[in-house]
Amino acid sequence: MEEEKIELNERNNAAQLKTAAHPPGRFERLIQPCLAELVGTTFFVFIGCVSVIENLEAAGRLQPALAHGLAVAVMVACMAEISGSHFNPPFTIAIFLCGGMELVLVIPYLVCQLLGGVLGAAMSKVDPAKYMNATGAAFTILQSHDQLGEVFFAELAMTCLVTMVVLLGAVNGKSKSPLVPFMVGCTVLFNILAGGDVSGTCLNPARAFGPALLTNYWAYHWVYWVGPIGGALIAAALVRLLMGDEKTRIALQ
């Protein structure tokens, strides 16, 4: 066993030395991560939309909750080493603010995520009649001004929670965990189970933008941008000011 451990350590050291001697080229540093964000967001939105469009009434929120949660977990696990597996504009903004990515990639990531949202929604639009019946977003969206406050707060709070999981599990050195795909997937799952009837549990402007664009349905669409981005900013502030390790915190050293 000890010999196997030594051999494994030697292989890891050799791999690290090889990486240091041959740093990633421009394609792997700049282009490949953006492609991963595009592909990952496309399939996440596709699975999410189809799970709602084809959902049986008897299944309630369980079917879309499982579909979204498992899709997130699988895509994060597959592409974390390529792009960080954001697939969500608020995540990208929060990760950048917490020092988890380069500024040069922020705008390309956001563009690829929104484009992925459109492509994913287009892939799911196999039955136009059903798609139109999904109220323009393939999830339950705000229907009247009376609901505005509770929907906004739900999107803000739930996005704050899942962003905290992302930041503490994948960015903050002290609390990084290899279980982050499972953690994020579970958080998305129970957010949908808990808040699906309140706001639809979008938590992701790219998830809302694609279906809204393809159906030209923009009623209260801004809530699904302002709420999630606001929640992500709060999460980033909490990590930067209070919850982060010494390297991440900018106050209370």
- Min mean pLDDT across 15-19, 148-152, 248-252 is at 15-19
Number of H helices, E strands in the chain: 11, 0
**Is 155:163 a contact under the CB 8 Å cutoff?**
no
pLDDT for position 8: 44
Cα–Cα dist 169/11, whole Å: 27
Could you confirm whether domain 25-243 is CATH 1.20.1080.10? Answer: yes
pLDDT for position 146: 79
Could you report the per-residue pLDDT of 58-97, keeping only the tens digit for each?
A: 667 888 899 999 999 999 999 999 999 999 999 999 999 9
Query: Quick one: average pLDDT of 47-56?
Result: 79
Q: Is the pLDDT of residue 198 over 80?
A: yes
Return the structure tokens found at 40. Answer: 């990952």
Q: What is the DSSP letter of 139?
A: S
The domain locations on the chain are 25-243
Alpha-carbon distances of 228 from 8, 10, 153, 191, rounded to whole Å: 43, 45, 9, 13
- Min mean pLDDT across 17-21, 66-70, 103-107, 180-184 is at 17-21
What is the pTM assigned to this prediction?
0.86
Cα–Cα dist 93/86, whole Å: 10
Cα–Cα dist 209/176, whole Å: 31
Q: Around 8, how many Cα atoms within 13 Å sit in the side-chain half-sphere?
A: 5
**Is 36:112 a contact under the CB 8 Å cutoff?**
no
Could you report the per-residue pLDDT of 143-183, keeping only the tens digit for each?
A: 667 788 999 999 999 999 999 999 999 999 999 999 999 99
Average pLDDT score over the chain: 86
